Amino acid sequence: LGSSLNGYSIQAQIGRGGFGVVLRGEKSGTKFAIKELKTINKTDIKEAEILRKWSHDHIIKYEQSFFDKTIFD
């Protein structure tokens, strides 16, 4: 930790599950939760598309997706 990923400053790991880890990060003064997946498939891409459309007080706002440092939002 203390590293960066596509311009996000990684601050801490805040969770871990069967699909990967969740990291706390920051970019341009805004804090983010970053979901880092072990693998990627069509379901993951569909989840990103759905999250991009949602806006709710109890859901962290979706920002962007990238795979192997390639942004695909």
**What is the DSSP secondary structure assignment for residue 57, as one 8-state letter?**
T
pLDDT at 35 over 70: yes
Q: Taking a C-beta distance cutoff of 8 angstroms, is the pair 25, 9 a contact?
A: yes
Calculate mean pLDDT across residues 32-52. Answer: 82
Specify the pLDDT at position 40. 82
Calculate mean pLDDT across residues 16-41. Answer: 85
Confidence of residue 68 (pLDDT cuts 50, 70, 90): low
